[in-house]
Amino acid sequence: MTRVIVAASYGGPEALTLRDEQVRSPRPGEAVLEVRAAGVNPADWKSYSGAWGADPTKLPIRLGYEAAGVVADVGPDAVGPAGPVRVGDEVIAFRVAGAYAERLVVKAAALVPKPAGMAWEEAAGLMLAGATAYHALVASSVAAGDTVLVHGAAGGVGLMAVQLAVARGARVIGTASPGRHTALRELGAEPTAYGPGLADRLRALAPAGIDAAVDTVGTDEAVDVSVELVRDRERVVTIAAFERGEAVGIRRIGGGPGADPGTALRDAARLELVRLVEQGALRVFVDEAFPLAAAAEAHRLGQQGHSHGKIVLVP
């Protein structure tokens, strides 16, 4: 048996409940993961909030797309992107279904090695935000010498985008509240506050212009300023403003309507993200860790939109 978190109904975090489930044996190409930490993401609460529909036949909904843990059992031909998966391997699992659990069965193809020395909580928060940021930089063609604007630079995806862009040799300007500016400078970004006068502040920082923009927040300000300052709208990417993005002709990525999910690209990014962590070029910042039974509390914090870094669950 394993304890898991499910959404028993559609609604708010009060719909989440902890229950026991059986864990079946792994089939060919599968493994059983003993979860040490699971990442919390907006997609988790969107799945039961009604934002993606409210089909009662889909209840109860298992939650969680990413986790880190130890392989407890394997089926025949259990091979991941880095090679055969073996019992005792310390791994990161992405993309999976039902990561809010003590144990779960996953496809071996979803497992990549956890960087040695990386904390479980950090490892659990690496892949979804990291792969999203990686996709955004590829979609906006960010390269060495570019000046790139990251809206929401102190959030989970924003922090990843800043580090990945710096690793590519780009100059990064990031919007964030003033209290987060010192942390962004330490990552190699040039911070500025969002709010009235943003376009003028950006012109002062980058008089030669901004080459690309990544919007992680979805506000009208982020879209409007990006469109105003970036000459090529093909190099403006949003992961949140899907309706506005379509209206103004910028790139939309992720799970929103009309957006490019980039599944193959994000899968391919996993080993690159691991490599960058191992090289010391990429870090995961954990804002807060909650016990598995406190998943509803973790979701309430996440829905406030004020966390800086990742929220994780620890079984």
24-55: per-residue pLDDT in tens?
A: 999 999 999 999 999 999 999 999 999 888 99
Q: Is the pLDDT of residue 307 over 80?
A: no
Q: What are the E-state strand segments in 88-185? A: 90-93, 103-107, 111-113, 147-151, 171-175
User: What one-character-per-residue DSSP string does 197-266 give?
Assistant: THHHHHHHH-TT-B-EEEESS--HHHHHHHHHHBS-GGGEEESS-HHHHHHHT-EEBSSSTT-B--HHHH
- Choosing among 3.90.180.10, 3.40.50.1360, 3.40.50.970, 3.40.50.300, the CATH entry for 2-126+284-314 is 3.90.180.10
Q: Which residues of 20-33 are buried (b: 16+ CB within 10 A; e: fewer)?
A: ebebeebeebbbbb
Within 8 A by CB and 6+ apart from 51, the residues are none
Classify the phi-psi angles of 153: left when phi > 0, otherwise alpha if psi is within -120 to 50, otherwise beta: alpha
Q: Is the pLDDT of residue 176 over 80?
A: yes
Amino acid at 67: A
Average pLDDT score, the chain: 97
Helix (H, G, I), strand (E, B) or coil at 109: helix
Q: By percentage, how much of the chain surpasses pLDDT 90?
A: 96
- On whether the CB atoms of residues 82 and 271 are closer than 8 A, the answer is yes
- On whether the CB atoms of residues 13 and 296 are closer than 8 A, the answer is yes
Q: Is the pLDDT of residue 213 over 90?
A: yes
Cα angle 159, 102, 105; round to 5: 90
How many other CB atoms sit within 10 Å of the CB of residue 302? 21
The domain locations on the chain are 2-126+284-314, 129-252
* C-alpha–C-alpha distance, residues 103 and 197, integer Å: 50
Q: How confident is the model at residue 186 (pLDDT cuts 50, 70, 90)?
A: very high
pTM of the model: 0.95
CA distances 166 to 150, 222, 247, Å, are 12, 21, 30
CA distances 279 to 111, 133, 159, 307, Å, are 20, 18, 17, 26
CATH superfamily of 129-252: Medium-chain alcohol dehydrogenases, catalytic domain (3.90.180.10)
- In CATH terms, are 2-126+284-314 and 129-252 the same topology? yes
The predicted pLDDT at position 83 comes to 97
Give residue 215's Cα distance to chain centre: 14
The predicted pLDDT at position 52 comes to 87
- φ and ψ of 46, to 5 deg: -65, -30
Q: What is the mean pLDDT of residues 179-206?
A: 98
Q: Is the pLDDT of residue 21 over 80?
A: yes
Q: By percentage, how much of the chain surpasses pLDDT 70?
A: 100
Site of tokens 């604007």: 149
